[in-house]
Every structure is written in C-alpha cells, then in structure tokens.
Amino acid sequence: AQKITQTQPGMFVQEKEAVTLDCTYDTSDPSYGLFWYKQPSSGEMIFLIYQGSYDQQNATEGRYSLNFQKARKSANLVISASQLGDSAMYFCAMREFNTGNQFYFGTGTSLTVIP
C-alpha cells in the first residue's frame, strides 16, 4: 500500500487566492511526522512545514498551514494568498518514529499560479 497519496497531479490557482493540496497517509505507527516540501523548476527541495502526530494544533508557517485530520489520516497543505513564485511541485512526506524512521514521499502535485 502507498504510504503517502497525493491525488492531484496538477492544480491551478488564481494569484491571491487560497489553494489546498491534498495528502493522505497510511501508517500504523502512533508516532510520526508529516512534512511538506516545495520543488520549484530550478530543482531544489525546500522544506515548508511540519506536523507531528501528537501535535494538538494545526501547524502554520507564514502563508502555509497544514490541515491535519488525524482520524482521516490526511494532512492537506493550504497556501493562502497565492503568489506567482508559489508555482512549483509540492511533495507531502511522512516519517515514522518507531518503524525504522523511514522517510516516505508522495508523488507530488504540480501547482501553477495564474496571474
């Protein structure tokens, strides 16, 4: 089974609008961390935001917030007030604390911000 599922291969959003990128995960480990990374066309991977499985509140980092729904095993990334520079691939990732500390990445969502 896929550990991380990103069902939106491509998304479009109007500049200044908010957009939600979906991510669901699969784990039986009660302790895990969820990450979002951005990969612009230049190729580098940039860390955006982190959510721990025991965190009570949804993580926020500037215009990024993580909509964490533990029972549904979803960790959607919300980008508010989209900017042209947000156009990139976005990867959701998970790391399990107790099961070998493996790092699993989703297949990514390509976001295009339209002026």
Binding site for other proteins (CB under 8 A): 31-33, 35, 37, 39, 43-47, 50, 52, 89, 91, 95-97, 100-103, 105, 107-108
Return the number of the residue (56 or 115) whose C-beta is nearest other proteins: 56
Between CA 86 and CA 69 the distance in angstroms is: 24
Pair 59, 50: CB distance under 8 Å: yes
Give the nearest distance from C-beta 16 to other proteins in angstroms.
27
* CA 31 distance to own-chain centroid: 18
For other proteins, the closer of residues 46 and 81 by Cβ is 46
